[in-house]
Amino acid sequence: MEKKFIEAFEPQTADLGAAITYSTTDSRKSFSLPRPTEDSKSAPLAIESFAIDPEVYHQRMEMVEALVKKQTDQGK
């Protein structure tokens, strides 16, 4: 069975994300992930309503309802 390794390193510069190296017994590939963009909205932590601030949950649910209404109105 061929050994495979995946390693992640801190970025070398401030404009790049983590550096990733994938290697096998025959080859190695290294690349940098893109740095996440700054966003005023944080990603949800979990699907459960208790996992985030109740006000944020309420705002996001309103956004979901608006999206569903828009898609329904467009016939999707």
Beta-bridged to residue 20, according to DSSP, are 8, 31
Beta-bridged to residue 21, according to DSSP, are 7, 30
Q: Is residue 33 a contact partner of residue 18, using CB atoms and an 8 Å limit? A: yes
pLDDT at site 29? 93
d(CA 53, CA 74): 32
Instruction: For residue range 13-56, list pLDDT tens digits in order.
Output: 888 889 999 998 889 999 999 887 776 666 655 566 566 778 88
**Mean local confidence (pLDDT), 49-75:** 83
Q: Which residues contact 35 (CB under 8 A, 6 or more apart)?
A: 11, 14, 15, 16, 17
pLDDT at site 36? 75
Domain range annotation of the chain: 5-34, 43-76
